[in-house]
Chains A and B, each alone.
Chain A
């Protein structure tokens, strides 16, 4: 009866309230769930924030956590989805010594093939930016690591769902009450 642990993307629509991040992260902390990634931003609705949280856990526990998140007064709605029900991406940046760009011609090929973008170049360093799936970013990092990376940073996952969210309808229904 050991339930499979899977990757779930939890999407949360919330009011923009100070302290809500604490309230939500505490729900994961209590159950010792490690958050794989968390991003928060403005959503499609003015004044409404959206959290995208990626966790690895069983579906049973995901359901319980999503309900406990939704129970928070300032959560408008919370959903969970499996990977195939979302369209997602991550982005990353590399800071690399500029000399390498000229001394190691292979780097130019790597950049080209990975469809990474050069954000800036100066005498000392250049900065690469790439969006995509984790495996693509990882493979680029491995390729560049051979030559030396001054700085690397990767964002959390952002995702939109294939399913319709109907948040606007919910809020309109409240306003019409």
Chain B
């Protein structure tokens, strides 16, 4: 009897009778959330009322569109490795999050989205601003659920955070009815430590490490392609140790960029459709291909029928569903990249592959002469996107986080930006979401205010979420915005030029006065049209303590090369 009384007292001390809406805010704070992005509306108003009360402890950022909130949460997550949070009301508020959620799903970004929902007694009745957001978001979330009872709120949020960040990260959506927000519960928060049906990190079988190391130790021409799994697994140091010990040339996918400094002698550049010449070409020459935390996306492999057929394939991944999904592997090493690479390191012989590495250097020299030189040191009249990135490199010394959108400027930014620090390449990879960069840059800057964050955006993508200039202004987020304006949807135009006989259907853009728009939001702005103005303008932008908008008018019909035409072999990478 005595022990029972003691237990009761303990429980009484720990729990508090509060409203569901307060429980939502307290749960977020218990997960360490200090910033969230969102937009209020009818079905989420009780939570906003609580956010008002707790505004000294948790900072809600009002974006100008829910899509902006989702992308900002992504930018926050990508630069910090923490879970980003977005909040929206029911109906259109919730559906506007979907593009960001889908982007986070395909790029494995941990975000938690909280949506308000109509009261439970109205569910299914086509009530005002009712939408089946759980149904709609199912294919693009790692997990989702609907909460209709106040007492279920803390557990649902705890589970959401656990699932979003554990294993292969991803987006989670928790839909909470308005009556659950209004109702009361005995609040007690316990972090989720596991879900019995879910194995976030599969065990690494030592046999697979042995098999992998044997192949690598005997390889004459080994090549690594790493992806974002290295960054998500915090395995940058382990990757570096492995490639240095075994002397393996290492290339990266677009989302793997910045895990290893650009200047590292074994960093041989980007693979894929607009990746570097050498790693694409030599994918079909290597004898062992070691894929680490990447998923053999079609933009990386080109035609699978002619992809690395001569090589033994070793695939390190945390997600068993990625093994043999696109490329049949000889050795699959499951597990967390940090642990499996550490085990691999121990099993590898010290080695060098100088003549093999020289092959990459020789092909790089060809690419430099035919493509890179003209991109970054142009002598022709029009400004190039490449020379803008080069100027940013000079000013940032490779220490900036580059947030790019989607299209030509993105490929150029990823190809030419110098990265010294990990988590510095924030871009929409798998989904290719135009409109990603401006809001993602806001999230990135707010998560890491000490870092220089430069958004590099095309004139098309910029106008997809241009309204977020309002958020930048209101939050005083010191984001640097560079719009590379070629008055075209450049990547589509490039394809039209190459594959559709220059029929430029709906790709030419008549653009507004971008400087006036930025200035309308009280953001310092400048426009550059001539090469001799560029260096000073970039310098001024980077030196600015506040947000700064720089429009650079680049050549209208510049193309991105190298290029592997869609469906072609990596061997057929074109330089012009």
Contact = CB atoms under 8 A, between A and B. Distances in A.
Interface of A: 14-15, 17-19, 22-23, 26, 30, 63-64, 67-68, 70-71, 73-76, 171, 174-175, 177
Question: Chain B: interface residue count, which band?
Answer: 20 to 34
A76 B196 contact: yes
Given A19-B144, A22-B135, A26-B138, A75 B197 contact: yes
Contacts of B198: 73-74
Contacts of B321: 64, 67-68, 70-71
B135 A64 contact: no
B143 A73 contact: yes
Interface in B159-203: 163, 194-198
Closest 3 CB pairs of A and B: A67-B321, A174-B196, A76-B197
A22 B321 CA distance: 19
B324 A63 contact: yes
Contacts of B325: 64, 67
Given A67-B320, A71-B321, A73-B143, A19 B138 contact: yes
A23 B195 CA distance: 18
Contacts of A26: 138-139
A17 B134 CA distance: 12
B487 interface: no
A17 B146 CA distance: 11
11 contacts: A19-B135, A19-B138, A26-B139, A30-B139, A64-B321, A64-B325, A67-B321, A71-B319, A74-B143, A75-B197, A174-B196
A168 to B, nearest CB: 12
Contacts of B323: 67
A43 B235 CA distance: 41
B409 interface: no
Given A19-B145, A23-B139, 10 more contacts: A15-B196, A19-B134, A26-B138, A26-B139, A64-B325, A67-B321, A73-B163, A74-B197, A174-B196, A177-B194
A70 B134 CA distance: 20
B138 A23 contact: yes
A63 B146 CA distance: 31
Contacts of A171: 196
B138 A22 contact: yes
B328 to A, nearest CB: 9
B315 interface: no
A73 to B, nearest CB: 5
Nearest to A64: B325
B144 A14 contact: no
Contact of A73 (B195, B319, B324): B195
A29 B157 CA distance: 29
Nearest to B139: A26
B142 interface: yes
Contacts of A71: 319-321
Nearest to B198: A73
Which residue of B143, B163, B194 has the most chain A CB atoms within 10 A of its CB atom?
Answer: B143
B230 to A, nearest CB: 21
A75 B197 CA distance: 6
Contacts of B320: 67, 70-71
Which residue of B195, B196, B319, B324 has the most chain A CB atoms within 10 A of its CB atom?
Answer: B196
A75 B321 CA distance: 13
Contacts of B195: 73-74
Which residue of B134, B135, B139, B319 has the most chain A CB atoms within 10 A of its CB atom?
Answer: B139
Contacts of A174: 194, 196
Nearest to B144: A19
Contacts of A177: 194
Contacts of A175: 196
A73 B196 contact: no
A30 B139 CA distance: 9
Nearest to B193: A177
Contacts of B197: 14-15, 73-76
A26 B139 CA distance: 7
A73 B173 CA distance: 13
Contacts of B142: 73
Which residue of B138, B144, B146 has the most chain A CB atoms within 10 A of its CB atom?
Answer: B138
B324 A64 contact: yes
A42 B471 CA distance: 50
B101 to A, nearest CB: 14
Contacts of A15: 196-197
Nearest to A77: B197
A75 B163 CA distance: 14
Nearest to B172: A73
